[in-house]
Amino acid sequence: MTLRKVAGLGALLSLVTPGLAMAADEVVLNSGDTAWMIVATALVLFMTIPGLALFYGGMVRSKNVLSVMMQCFAITGLISILWVVYGYSLAFDTTGMEQGVINFNSFVGGLSKAFLSGLNTSSLVYAIPESVFITFQMTFAIITPALIVGAFAERMKFSAMLIFMAVWFTLVYAPIAHMVWSGNGGLMWDWGVLDFAGGTVVHINAGVAGLVACLVLGKRKGYPTTPMAPHNLGYTLLGAAMLWVGWFGFNAGSAVAANGTAGMAMLVTQIATAAAALGWMFAEWLTHGKPSALGIASGVVAGLVAITPAAGTVGPMGALIIGLVAGVVCYFCATSLKRKLGYDDSLDAFGVHGIGGIVGALLTGVFAAPALGGFGTVEDIGAQLLIQFEGVAFTVVYTGIVTFVILKVLDVVIGLRVNEEEETVGLDLAQHNERGYNL
């Protein structure tokens, strides 16, 4: 079995780090790489619980704080098990794939790795145990559906949410991950789409699904005339800080080694995030007269999202521009555009993750070029930009259509939304018989 057959994010490094794509029997365990990847895996899990749980939990009303946190925890458990049973296989089994040939396995993997068949303590991927790689990839699979929660917060049944996430993970996340990361023969891999750590697979995927979900479920009762201010911005800032720190595992960990690519990914992640935080803050300051804590927290996440696809190929100045553009563009999309179009994306999952992912994916095609300080192999910026656009467009269309179908079927079968009385009482009591605060 070649190394290509099990590498996902790591396989991308064969484009930017020569010498990594070798047969598995030539790989020797590297304890330094292994130690770093164990840490990176823990950091990415930390992004969801408690990072995302607190970030989202603080932004909802107090009567829904537990429901959002509960959803993050439940998704973590659900996706972990589905990943082991068949998700890893659907994403990274390359049986039947051939470079330049489009067939069924260009879109989704087989089941030869179902239930982690063949895994043992000697299995290696890029000089680290395959078990570590599996767990690292699992944390990406966990956070992606959890991000969607922000779009439909405060109005979806817990039971419907669980079923939706299981089906969406199976029909959307795993195939997109396979198409982008599985290696030669994967649809978007063969196109040459650059996505180092998940701009397409994670953020555009989740953002578009979130937009479809909030449109299908409809607006929250009273939106937009009833005030729905965040109940605890302290939680949100803490969550944003945890996401910022955890994201170094997300991006630098995608090197699947403790090497120069990981170091540069860490640096550009910090630069882009700082730039986006300031970009959002100053844009809000200029348009509304005052900078807000919620604004800078949102800007942080926008920068983290935008640099994700570019982290392995852009240089520091490219990261600075990506961050600034993402901060300003996401600000206007999460405020002015949302108000103009009238959709109720509760916590701006689409405005931040969807738009930020699109900005980052497109600008990766520009700033990965060595001529602009990048470290990729891009020689024709126009051609790569077109490839990036094709990847974005395919993901938007595929995710949008499949998500819509899943939600419509579930709505007919079990219903998606809580009733008006439950929504008024709050999902904490209505769905879990608990309160976030007992005073």
Buried b (16+ CB within 10 A) or exposed e, 163-198: bbbbbbbbbbbbbbbbbbbbbbbbbbbbebbbbbbb
In DSSP terms, 156 is beta-bridged to: 417
What's the confidence (pLDDT) of residue 268?
98
Stretch among 120-129, 149-158, 324-333 having the lowest mean pLDDT: 120-129
Tally of residues, the chain: 439
What's the confidence (pLDDT) of residue 294?
97
Question: Measuring CA to CA, which residue among 142, 52, 49, 46 is closest to residue 349?
Answer: 52
What's the confidence (pLDDT) of residue 26?
72
What's the confidence (pLDDT) of residue 17?
33
Question: Measuring CA to CA, which residue among 98, 99, 54, 58 is closest to residue 73?
Answer: 54
Sign of CA dihedral 254, 120, 6, 143: negative
What's the confidence (pLDDT) of residue 70?
97
**pLDDT for 6 beyond 90:** no
CA–centroid distance for 197 within its chain: 9
What are the structure tokens assigned to 71, written together?
């959803």
Q: Report pLDDT digits (tens) over 283-301.
A: 999 999 999 999 999 999 9
**pLDDT for 226 beyond 70:** yes
Q: Report pLDDT digits (tens) over 70-104.
A: 999 999 999 999 999 999 999 999 999 999 999 99
Torsion of CA 422, 214, 240, 256, to 10 degrees: 120
In DSSP terms, 125 is beta-bridged to: 128
Q: How far apart, in whole angstroms, are the C-alpha atoms of residue 367 and residue 363?
A: 6
322: confidence class by pLDDT, cuts 50, 70, 90 = very high
What's the confidence (pLDDT) of residue 50?
95
**pLDDT for 252 beyond 60:** yes
Q: How far apart, in whole angstroms, are the C-alpha atoms of residue 313 and residue 373?
A: 9
Mean pLDDT of 243-258: 97
In DSSP terms, 23 is beta-bridged to: 2
Mean pLDDT in the chain? 93
Torsion of CA 149, 152, 156, 158, to 10 degrees: 0
Q: Kindly give the interhelix angle for 205-217 and 355-367, rounded to the nearest 10 degrees.
A: 160
What are the structure tokens assigned to 315, written together?
């240089």
Q: Report pLDDT digits (tens) over 12-26.
A: 433 333 333 333 447
What are the structure tokens assigned to 9, written together?
């994010």
Per-residue CA distances from 21 to 18, 110, 127, 181, 378 (Å): 8, 22, 11, 14, 20
> CB under 8 Å to 425, separation ≥6 — which residues?
63
Q: Report pLDDT digits (tens) over 356-408.
A: 999 999 999 999 999 999 999 999 999 999 999 999 999 999 999 999 999 99
Is the distance from CB of 335 to CB of 283 less than 8 angstroms? Answer: no
**pLDDT for 309 beyond 60:** yes
Mean pLDDT of 124-143: 96
Q: Report pLDDT digits (tens) over 27-61.
A: 899 999 999 999 999 999 999 999 999 999 999 99
What's the confidence (pLDDT) of residue 439?
75
Is the distance from CB of 331 to CB of 277 less than 8 angstroms? Answer: no
> CB under 8 Å to 87, separation ≥6 — which residues?
79, 138, 141, 169, 170, 173, 174
What's the confidence (pLDDT) of residue 67?
97
Q: Kindly give the interhelix angle for 381-413 and 205-217, rounded to the nearest 10 degrees.
A: 40
What's the confidence (pLDDT) of residue 27?
80
Q: How far apart, in whole angstroms, are the C-alpha atoms of residue 292 and residue 288?
A: 10
Mean pLDDT of 219-235: 94
Buried b (16+ CB within 10 A) or exposed e, 33-44: bbebbbebbebb
Q: Kindly give the interhelix angle for 233-252 and 31-46, rounded to the nearest 10 degrees.
A: 150
What's the confidence (pLDDT) of residue 3?
34
Residue whose tokens read 């991927």: 125
Is the distance from CB of 290 to CB of 239 less than 8 angstroms? Answer: no
Torsion of CA 81, 51, 250, 327, to 10 degrees: 130
Stated pTM of the model: 0.93
**pLDDT for 205 beyond 80:** yes
What's the confidence (pLDDT) of residue 24?
41
Is the distance from CB of 28 to CB of 127 less than 8 angstroms? Answer: yes
Q: How far apart, in whole angstroms, are the C-alpha atoms of residue 390 and residue 349?
A: 22
Is the distance from CB of 354 to CB of 318 less than 8 angstroms? Answer: no
What's the confidence (pLDDT) of residue 413?
97
Residue 332 identity: F
